Structure 1
Amino acid sequence: MKLLGVEYLIVTNAAGGLNPQYNVGDIVFIKDHINFPSLSGKNPLVGANDNRCGPAYETPAEARMLRILGADLAGFSTAHETMVASHCGLNVFAMSLVTNIVIVEDESPRITNHEEVLETSAKRSETLKELVTRLVTELE
C-alpha cells in the first residue's frame, strides 16, 4: 500500500470487552496491542491457516489472564495488520466495536456466541461508518 502512495490506514474490528467500564456497542480507539505470537519467538508470518474452526472465543481463564496483562479488548485481528502498516511508515488509526462482554467467570450462565457479535455489529454499523467518514474527511 505504501508503494501505491497510501499514507493512512484505518482499521476497524469487532472485539470483546474486557475492561469493566466498556459496554456492548462502545467504539474504542486502539492505542496499543499485545502480540502473543511474537512473544513465543515464532514468526507469525509462517504457517497454515484454516478458517473452518473459527471463530473461537477466549476461555474465561484466558480472559482473566488478558485482564491481568492490561488488555481492555479481545479481538481476532488488527494487531498484525497495524504492525506491518506502521513498519511501512503508514499512519494507522485502529478502532474496535465492543460487540460482546468477555466472560471471565468459570461458572457463568452466559455463553459468548457469534450471533451476538453479528447483531451488535449490524446495530452499530451506521455509527461506525459515520465515524470513519468523518475521520477520512479530517485527514483530507
Structure 2
Amino acid sequence: METAASSSTFQRATETALHVRAALPDVLQNPKVAIVCGSGLGGLAQTIEPEPKVELAYETIPNFPRSTVQGHEGKFVFGLLGPQKTPVALLVGRAHFYEGHSMDLVTFATRVCKVLGVETMIVTNAAGGLNQDYAVGDIVCLNDHLNMAGLVGIHPLRGPNLEDFGVRFPPLSDAYDLDLRRRTHRAWKKLGLDKQKRRLHEGIYAFVAGPTYETRAECRMLRGFGADVVGMSTVPEIVVARHSGIRILAFSLVTNCAVLEAGSRGDDEALQAMTKAELDEHLSKGKANHQEVLEAGREAAKDMQALVKEIISDL
C-alpha cells in the first residue's frame, strides 16, 4: 500500500530527475553507475571523458541539498568513463546529517540516482583509521558497517516505508557486493598498485553522526566492536541504495590514525613539571584535523581515480 510519504519522496525524486535529464544529451540520459566523491576526492570527476560532459551545481537542482563542507564542491557531473564509454553520474560533494539536514535530505541524491536508472553506486569517503595495521593514505574496501547513529534511531528508513523504492525490512547482510569487491582486488593488482607503499584493505566502517571527531574512549569502543575505520557519512547512502536495489561498492581513504590510547591523568608525576604549552602539545599528539583529511585525499587521489576507472571499465 502506497503512503503519502512514499508518494511525496518519489514525486520529488522524479521531478529532480526530469530536471537533470533535460540538461543532458541522449548518451548521458541513463547513467548506469553513480560515484559519490568524499572529502578531498572531488578529483574523481577528472576521470571522465572531456566530451560530452555536463556539470550541474547543486544549488541549481530542485529539491537538492547544498553541501557546506570544505573540500566538497557541490555539483552533479555527468559523462562517459573508461574504454567502454560507460555513462556515469558523479556526486562531487554530499550532504551530511551533522550539517543539520534530515536523513531524508542526506539520502535524497541516492533516490534521484535510482530514478535516473543507476544500477551500481561507488561510494567514497575520508575516514579515521581505527585498525592499527592501517596507515594514512591506505584505501579500505568496505565489506560491512556499524550504523551507530541508526542503532539509536537516526535511521534513513525510519518512518513509513517508501514502497516505490523497496520493501519495509531490507536485508543488509549482502550490502557490500562481493563480485564488485573481487573486481576491486583484481584491478588493484592489474594496475600494479600492490607493488607500492599504499595498501588496499577490506574492513568495517563505523558511521557516527559527527561533527566532532571521536574521543579516545569512543575510538576504543568502536575498535572493540570490530570497526576498522570511522566516519560521518556513507552508511545512510548505502542503506538507501540497498533499499532501492542498487549494487554497492564503497571505499574509505584513511586520512588520519585515530588515537586509541587513554589520555594522561592529571596526577601523572611525569606531567607535574610541564608548562601549560608543553601540556597542550602532549595532549594534542594524534589529534585529527580537517586539513589533514584534505591533504591525504589529494595525495591518494590518483590511485583512487585509476582504481575506480579500472573497475568500471570491467563492468
The TM tier, using the shorter chain, reads 0.7 to 0.9
| Structure 2 unaligned blocks of 5 or more | 1-112, 159-209, 265-282
User: Could you report, residue by residue, the CA deviation over 1:100-128 in whole angstroms, capped at 9, with x for unpaired residues?
Assistant: 10111224533211111111111111111
The answer to whether structure 1 residue 14 and structure 2 residue 170 are counterparts is no
Is the contact between residue 258 and residue 286 of structure 2 (CA under 8 Å) also seen in structure 1?
no
Larger Rg, first or second structure (1 or 2) = 2
Aligned counterparts, 1:1-140, within 5 A: 1-44=113-156, 55-105=211-261, 106-107=263-264, 109-139=285-315
The one-letter amino acid of 1:27's match is I
Is the contact between residue 55 and residue 114 of structure 1 (CA under 8 Å) also seen in structure 2?
no
Structure 2 vs 1, CA of residues 24 and 42 (structure 1 numbering), >3 Å: closer, same or farther?
Answer: closer
Task: Report how far residue 14 of structure 1 moved.
Answer: 0.4
Task: Report how far residue 44 of structure 1 moved.
Answer: 4.6
**Per the alignment, in what secondary structure is the counterpart of residue 32 of structure 1?**
strand
Task: Report how far residue 43 of structure 1 moved.
Answer: 4.2
Is the contact between residue 64 and residue 104 of structure 1 (CA under 8 Å) also seen in structure 2?
yes
Q: For the aligned residues, what is the CA RMSD?
A: 1.7
Task: Report how far residue 134 of structure 1 moved.
Answer: 0.9
Task: Report how far residue 38 of structure 1 moved.
Answer: 2.2
Q: Aligned equivalents of 1:122 and 1:56: distance in 2?
A: 22
Aligned to 1:49: none
Q: Aligned equivalents of 1:29 and 1:43: distance in 2?
A: 23
Is the contact between residue 14 and residue 121 of structure 1 (CA under 8 Å) also seen in structure 2?
yes
Task: Report how far residue 3 of structure 1 moved.
Answer: 2.4
Aligned to 1:50: none
| Aligned-residue identity in percent | 50
Task: Report how far residue 42 of structure 1 moved.
Answer: 4.5
| Structure 1 unaligned blocks of 5 or more | 47-53
The one-letter amino acid of 2:150's match is S
Q: Aligned equivalents of 2:125 and 2:257: distance in 1?
A: 15
Q: Aligned equivalents of 2:294 and 2:154: distance in 1?
A: 32
Structure 2 vs 1, CA of residues 42 and 15 (structure 1 numbering), >3 Å: closer, same or farther?
Answer: closer
Q: Aligned equivalents of 2:312 and 2:154: distance in 1?
A: 36
Equivalenced residue count is 132
User: Could you report, residue by residue, the CA deviation over 1:66-102 in whole angstroms, capped at 9, with x for unpaired residues?
Assistant: 0010000011110010110011100100011111101
Task: Report how far residue 61 of structure 1 moved.
Answer: 0.8
Considering Cα pairs closer than 8 Å and 6+ residues apart, tell me whether 1 or 2 has the greater RCO.
Answer: 1
Is the contact between residue 37 and residue 44 of structure 1 (CA under 8 Å) also seen in structure 2?
no
**Per the alignment, in what secondary structure is the counterpart of residue 84 of structure 1?**
helix
The one-letter amino acid of 2:298's match is A
Q: Aligned equivalents of 1:134 and 1:4: distance in 2?
A: 23
Aligned to 1:51: none
**TM-score using structure 1 length:** 0.86
**Per the alignment, in what secondary structure is the counterpart of residue 236 of structure 2?**
helix
**TM-score using structure 2 length:** 0.40
